[in-house]
A and B are shown apart, each in its own frame.
Chain A
Amino acid sequence: MDTMEVLQQAKALANAMTVYQETLPPDLTAELECPASAKEELFNECEEKWKEIEELQSKLALIETEACADPDLKTSYRHKGIMAELHHLEEKDPDLISENSDVLAAFGMDELQRVNRELEMVLSSCQAQNENLKKTLNREQEWLQEQQELGQVIAERAAKVKSILQDYSEARAFQDMKVKIQQVKTYQEKLLDSMGTFLAQHFPLPQHQNHPSKNSKMSVDVHENLISLHEILETLMNKILEMPHDPYITIDDTFWPPYIEMLLRFGIALRHPENPNKIRMEAFHQ
């Protein structure tokens, strides 16, 4: 028994030390040693009460009450009972438990200790709840922040998309297209230019004056009508782009045969499958 008490006290002390040391009032020192006279007085009072109870009990036992499952009778009893209780409550004077100050002090101490215990429990449960709520709050705040960031990003993106949509108009698209066409045209001219330069430099027209002895068999009038490689290519290109259904051109004596041969060999031009005098350009653009 003693060990149990010591254990409990130790437990209570540990509780007080760890959890709510700063908020805890000093322990109530239990003064449960009542003087013998007070005990005697209480005993007497209890005896009196018990006698009273016995008297009442004997009176009650004389009253014959009916057994009944009849709800109406039950209701009337209920009504009577409640009225009697109401009457009693209205008439009742609050009376003191005891006149003895020692008894009252002991009672008060008991009551205080009980309240103290209960409040301690309330405090600890409140603290636990507080802790829980704090955790929940933290979690919720983190979540809120995440959601806010997400919302910001989405709003930014939405604004961007919106501005793009607003700026988009026919005139602007037209302008863009024009600029692009211009760029492509410039690029094409540049390409043509450089091709012309390249061709003029590397594929000149045969100069019969340079090799009079070697090409003596060739007639002079043939050379006079010859067109340059540049012109051949241009004709071929124009033909294939303008008349794709019939891209062939007829070879006549203005075309210098070695150039034709070269174009055919390198796969730039193709001969007509039936007419050997016709060639067309390979369809590079398709």
Chain B
Amino acid sequence: MSVLNMFHKHPELNTASILLVETERQHQDKLAEAILAAQRSFNVNVHLADSLPLPTRNEANRPRIDLVVFIVNHFSSRSLELTKSYLQHLDVMYFLGRLCFLVNDARSAKSDPDKLHAVREMAAKYSSPLLFTELQTEQGLATAADRLLVFTKVSAGFVPGVSSLFLNTLTSCSHPMESSSNTLVDTD
């Protein structure tokens, strides 16, 4: 099983790389454009993928990935399943604050609370941040890009004194209400 390793590559000077993974490839391109257009103090490479593991033939050209972002389509349960399977191909170091889940348009009337709940549970299980975004609007794209860049800046080590693990303890998704009450009952 090929694994995306965190520390097998050299970091580049003043450059961070983001990997956007989206099975349906709906919002990837626009989000990448927004990230590149956003104001920032460092260089950013954005890599797009629709699945993990990444193909091995480009392995040599690929820089070190500082942040992996999974865009989960909460309208389909298949997207969630696939995302879970992709997590197998990540180095354990990514789970220490270099991973981020992103859900689009959760405010839509069509959204299913059960599926949202499942996404949230997954994010909580891997103690990763879960961002709710509105990628269909310009402003939503810009906001999402800004938020991702904050994570990137920290996980690439551009903020002195703050590590990604430290930030992660503050931003990771907490367990949803029901499951937390369940665990409480269990411990009793």
- A residues near B (Cβ < 8 Å) are 53-54, 57, 60-61, 63, 65-69, 71, 73-74, 77-78, 81-82, 85
Q: Is the CB of A85 within 8 A of B7?
A: no
Q: Is the CB of B10 within 8 A of A65?
A: no
Residues of A close to B45: CB separation below 8 A: none
- B residues near A (Cβ < 8 Å) are 1, 3-8, 10-11, 84, 87-93, 95-96, 125-127, 163, 165-166, 169
Would A85 and B8 be within 8 Å (CB), given that A66-B92, A67-B1, A67-B89 are in contact?
no
Q: Is the CB of A67 within 8 A of B92?
A: yes
Beta-carbon nearest neighbor of B8 in chain A: A61
Residues of B close to A81: CB separation below 8 A: 96, 165
Would A57 and B11 be within 8 Å (CB), given that A65-B6, A78-B165 are in contact?
yes
Q: Is the CB of B1 within 8 A of A85?
A: no
Q: How far is the CA of A61 from the CA of B169 in the complex (A)?
A: 26
Q: Is the CB of A57 within 8 A of B10?
A: yes
Partner of B92, one of A53, A60, A68, A82: A68
Pick the 4 closest A-B CB pairs, nearest first: A67-B3, A60-B7, A69-B87, A74-B95
Partner of B95, one of A53, A57, A61, A78: A78
- In the complex, how many angstroms separate the beta carbon of A96 from the nearest chain B beta carbon? 14
Residues of A close to B7: CB separation below 8 A: 57, 60-61, 63, 65
Beta-carbon nearest neighbor of B2 in chain A: A67
Would you list 14 pairs from A and B whose C-beta atoms are within 8 A, ordered by A residue?
Answer: A53-B11, A54-B10, A57-B7, A61-B7, A61-B8, A65-B5, A66-B92, A67-B3, A69-B87, A77-B95, A77-B96, A81-B96, A82-B165, A85-B163
Partner of A78, one of B5, B11, B96, B125: B96
- In the complex, how many angstroms separate the beta carbon of B160 from the nearest chain A beta carbon? 10
Q: Is the CB of A73 within 8 A of B92?
A: yes
Query: 15 new A-B pairs (CB below 8 Å) besides A57-B7, A68-B95?
Result: A54-B10, A60-B7, A65-B7, A66-B91, A67-B4, A67-B88, A67-B89, A67-B90, A67-B92, A69-B90, A74-B92, A74-B95, A74-B126, A77-B95, A82-B169
Residues of A close to B95: CB separation below 8 A: 68, 74, 77-78
Beta-carbon nearest neighbor of A68 in chain B: B92
Beta-carbon nearest neighbor of B4 in chain A: A67
Residues of B close to A85: CB separation below 8 A: 163, 165-166
Residues of A close to B92: CB separation below 8 A: 65-68, 73-74, 77
